[in-house]
């Protein structure tokens, strides 16, 4: 495969670039979801094509970088130190070594889609377009949906915090995944503190407000999305985490904040949260097109 493997800050970074070196290309930085790492893009089920293989076949007019954000909690939600790593370490590393045009996009799914949106909203000087597949958003509907289950699971397992399940060394149930995800979110949003009472599941308002401050809907309301060259949003109509509802709320917020409708691709498709990797090449082409345009 025509991918270059690098090590940046002790993390793997995989880069694909067009073979024609006489021109400069936009760069799309791809952020993996929770409980994945950069290497996992190359892992596939039998008879399936990996995303790196799909990128090679597509041969987009863009450089593509697969960024790593693994932690012992399965990921850091691409904010804080992980956002600094992306912006301060990965972007300069890639663009000093490959024929980059200075136009940049972000792509990701689930928590990777969340990270793509958050970094596009908070670093408009760096990132100019974004594609988010089933991103975390509308926290009071999506993330809060898991609090009751988590409180019950912690009680039944005799645990006081999902941190007691770390480091991740394997998951045996959907409930395991929920608890580990909440541990990762708590680290990212509130220094490890959960926003609900682990005995009853009731919200702890002061901590919950800290989580809500990281909701892409809140962040979109504080930015000028009209500066973005393109935004791709999609989710399955039956997303198990109700992230389709967050996508619709984000669409409405971005349009209300001034994003031109022609720069927005928003779609609900038949399906759930999994098995959507076949959609990534389409949003990659979208990003390459947006980033090659001038405004």
pLDDT in tens, 246-282: 999 999 999 999 999 999 999 999 999 998 999 999 9
pTM score: 0.97
Domain endpoint, select from 171, 189, 211: 211
pLDDT in tens, 2-44: 999 999 999 999 999 999 878 999 999 999 999 999 999 998 7
Same-domain pairing of 93 and 229: yes
Same-domain pairing of 55 and 86: yes
Distances from the Cα of 66 to the Cαs of 10, 27, 30, 181, in angstroms?
14, 11, 5, 21
Rounded average pLDDT per 10-residue block, the chain, 295 residues: 93 96 93 97 86 96 98 96 98 97 98 98 97 98 96 96 88 92 97 96 98 97 93 98 98 97 98 94 98 79
Give the CATH number of the domain where residue 228 resides: 3.40.50.1820
Domain endpoint, select from 211, 228, 260: 211
Same-domain pairing of 24 and 160: no
The Cα–Cα gap between 247 and 251 comes to: 6
The Cα–Cα gap between 9 and 125 comes to: 23
Domain count, the chain: 2
Looking at residue 45, its pLDDT comes to: 75
Looking at residue 203, its pLDDT comes to: 98
Domain endpoint, select from 187, 211, 235: 211
| Three-state DSSP state, 250 | helix
Judged on CB neighbours under 10 Å (0-12, 13-18, 19+), 159 is middle
Looking at residue 1, its pLDDT comes to: 58
Same-domain pairing of 51 and 185: no
Range of the domain at 206: 143-211
Looking at residue 37, its pLDDT comes to: 97
The Cα–Cα gap between 223 and 227 comes to: 9
Looking at residue 295, its pLDDT comes to: 56
Angle subtended by helix axes 280-292 and 51-58, to nearest 10: 50
Same-domain pairing of 123 and 172: no
**Residues β-bridged to residue 232:** 131, 265
Please say whether the beta carbons of 102 and 116 come within 8 A.
no
The Cα–Cα gap between 208 and 240 comes to: 22
Phi-psi bin for 8: left (phi > 0), alpha (psi -120 to 50), beta? Answer: beta
- The DSSP result for 177-220, as a single string, is HHHHHHHHHHHHHHTT--SB-TTT--B-HHHHHHHHTT-HHHHH
Same-domain pairing of 92 and 68: yes
Same-domain pairing of 89 and 200: no
Nearest Cα residue to 288 out of 241, 230, 249: 230
Looking at residue 294, its pLDDT comes to: 67
Nearest Cα residue to 130 out of 241, 22, 223: 223
């Amino acid at each position: 495969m025509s991918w270059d493997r690098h090590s940046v800050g002790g993390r793997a970074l995989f880069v694909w670039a067009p073979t024609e070196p006489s021109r400069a290309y936009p760069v799309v930085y791809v952020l993996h979801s929770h409980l994945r790492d950069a290497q996992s893009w190359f892992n596939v089920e039998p008879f399936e094509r990996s995303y790196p293989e799909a990128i090679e076949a597509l041969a987009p007019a863009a450089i593509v970088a697969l960024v790593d954000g693994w932690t012992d909690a399965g990921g850091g939600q691409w904010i804080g130190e992980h956002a600094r790593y992306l912006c301060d370490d990965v972007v300069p590393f890639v663009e000093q070594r490959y024929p980059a045009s200075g136009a940049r996009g972000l792509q990701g799914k689930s928590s990777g889609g969340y990270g793509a949106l958050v970094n596009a909203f908070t670093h408009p000087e760096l990132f100019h377009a974004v594609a988010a597949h089933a991103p975390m958003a509308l926290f009071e509907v999506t993330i809060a949906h898991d609090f009751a289950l988590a409180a019950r699971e912690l009680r039944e397992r005799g645990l006081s915090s999902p941190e007691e399940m770390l480091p991740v060394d394997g998951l045996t149930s959907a409930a395991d995944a929920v608890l580990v995800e909440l541990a990762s979110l708590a680290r990212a949003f509130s220094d490890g503190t959960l926003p609900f009472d682990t005995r009853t599941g009731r919200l702890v308002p002061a901590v919950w407000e800290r989580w809500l401050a990281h909701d892409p809907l809140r962040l979109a309301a504080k930015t000028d999305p009209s500066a973005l060259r393109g935004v791709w949003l999609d989710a399955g109509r039956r997303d198990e985490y109700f992230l389709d509802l967050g996508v619709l709320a984000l669409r409405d917020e971005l349009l209300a904040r001034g994003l031109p409708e022609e720069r927005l691709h928003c779609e609900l498709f038949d399906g759930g949260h999994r098995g959507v990797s076949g959609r990534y090449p389409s949003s990659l082409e979208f990003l390459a097109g947006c980033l090659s345009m001038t405004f």
